[in-house]
Amino acid sequence: MNEVRFGQAINKALADAMTADPSVIVLGEDVARPGGPFGVTRGLLDRFGPERVRDTPISEAAIVGASVGAAMTGLRPVVEIMFMDFVTLTMDALVNQAAKARFMFGGQLSVPMVVRMPHGGGINAGPQHSQCLEAWLAHVPGLKVVCPATVADAYGLTRAAIADDDPVIVVENKALYAAKGDLPDTAAATPIGRARTARAGRDATIVSYGAMVPVALAAAADLGRDGVDAEVIDLRSLQPWDEPAVLASLARTHRLVIAHEAVEAFGVGAEIAARMSDVGFDELDGPIVRVGAPFMPPPFAKTLEDWFRPDAAKIVAAVKRTMA
Amino acid sequence: MSHTLAPFATDRLLELYRGMRLVREAEERLSALFAEGEIPGFIHLSIGQEAVPVGVASVLDEADTLASNHRGHGHAIAKGLDLDRFFLELLGKQDGYCRGRGGSMHVADMKLGMLGANGIVGAGLPIAVGSALAHKIRGTGHIAVVFFGDGALAEGVLHESMNLAQLWSLPVLFVCENNGWSEFTEGARQLTTDPQRMAAAYGMKATKVDGNDVIAVAGAAREAVATVRAGKGPCLLECVTRRVRGHFEGDPQKYRDAGDVAAATRDDPLARCESQLIADGISQADIEAVKTATAARVDAAVAKARAGPPPSPADTLADVYSPPREVAT
Count of domains observed in chain B: 1
Task: Indicate which residue of A80, A119, A129, A271 is catalytic.
Answer: A129
Residues in A touching B65 (Cβ below 8 Å): 69, 72-73
Model confidence band, residue B328 (pLDDT cutoffs 50, 70, 90): low
Sequence spans of domains, chain A: 2-183, 196-323
The answer to whether residues B51 and B221 touch, using CB atoms and an 8 Å cutoff, is no
Residue B243 in domain:
yes
Model confidence band, residue A185 (pLDDT cutoffs 50, 70, 90): confident
Residue B323 CB contacts under 8 Å (≥ 6 apart), including other chains: none
Q: Which residue of B has its CA nearest to A22?
A: B138
Model confidence band, residue A198 (pLDDT cutoffs 50, 70, 90): very high
pLDDT at B329 exceeding the cut of 90:
no
Task: State the CATH class of domain A2-183.
Answer: alpha beta
**For chain B, what's the residue count?**
329
Domain of residue B114 covers 10-305
CA A35 – CA A232 distance, rounded (Å): 35
pLDDT tens digits, residue range A227-253?
999 999 999 999 999 999 999 999 999
| A129 in catalytic set | yes
| A21 CB neighbour count, 10 Å cutoff | 12
pLDDT of residue A1: 74
CA A163 – CA A13 distance, rounded (Å): 11
Q: Which helix (H) or strand (E) holds A262?
A: strand A256-263
Fold match between A2-183 and A196-323?
yes
Which of B89, B97, B155, B320 to mutate to test binding with chain A, by most A CBs within 10 Å of its CB?
A: B320
pLDDT of residue A285: 98
Rounded to the nearest 5 degrees, what angle is found at the Cα of A47, between the Cα atoms of B162 and A181? 110
Residue B82 CB contacts under 8 Å (≥ 6 apart), including other chains: B97, B109
Q: Which residue of B has its CA nearest to A165?
A: B322
Look up residue B22 and give its DSSP letter.
Answer: H
pLDDT of residue B325: 74
Intra-chain end-to-end CA distance of chain A, in Å: 43
Task: Indicate which residue of A60, A172, A261, A283 is catalytic.
Answer: A60
| A231 in catalytic set | no
- CB of A65 within 8 Å of any CB in chain B? yes
Model confidence band, residue B78 (pLDDT cutoffs 50, 70, 90): very high
Which of B133, B316, B325 to mutate to test binding with chain A, by most A CBs within 10 Å of its CB?
A: B133
The answer to whether residues A27 and A77 touch, using CB atoms and an 8 Å cutoff, is yes
- CB of A61 within 8 Å of any CB in chain B? yes
- CB of A76 within 8 Å of any CB in chain B? no
The answer to whether residues A132 and A122 touch, using CB atoms and an 8 Å cutoff, is no
pLDDT tens digits, residue range A147-181?
999 999 999 999 999 999 999 999 999 999 999 99
Q: Does domain A196-323 have CATH number 3.40.50.280?
A: no
Residue B313 in domain:
no
pLDDT of residue B326: 64
Model confidence band, residue B1 (pLDDT cutoffs 50, 70, 90): very low
pLDDT at B2 exceeding the cut of 90:
no
Pick A106's closest partner by Cβ from B99, B125, B126: B99
pLDDT tens digits, residue range A59-99?
999 999 999 999 999 999 999 999 999 999 999 999 999 99
The answer to whether residues A92 and A56 touch, using CB atoms and an 8 Å cutoff, is no
pLDDT of residue B8: 75
* Bond before A240 cis per omega within 30 degrees: yes
pLDDT of residue B3: 45
| A124 CB neighbour count, 10 Å cutoff | 15
Residue B319 in domain:
no
Interval B158-176 mean pLDDT = 98
Contact state of B163 with A57 under an 8 Å Cβ cutoff: yes
Contact state of B108 with A105 under an 8 Å Cβ cutoff: yes
pLDDT tens digits, residue range B221-232?
999 999 999 999
CATH number of the domain to which B220 belongs: 3.40.50.970
CA A147 – CA A150 distance, rounded (Å): 10
Percent of chain B scoring above 90 in pLDDT: 94
The answer to whether residues A98 and A144 touch, using CB atoms and an 8 Å cutoff, is no
CA B146 – CA B138 distance, rounded (Å): 20
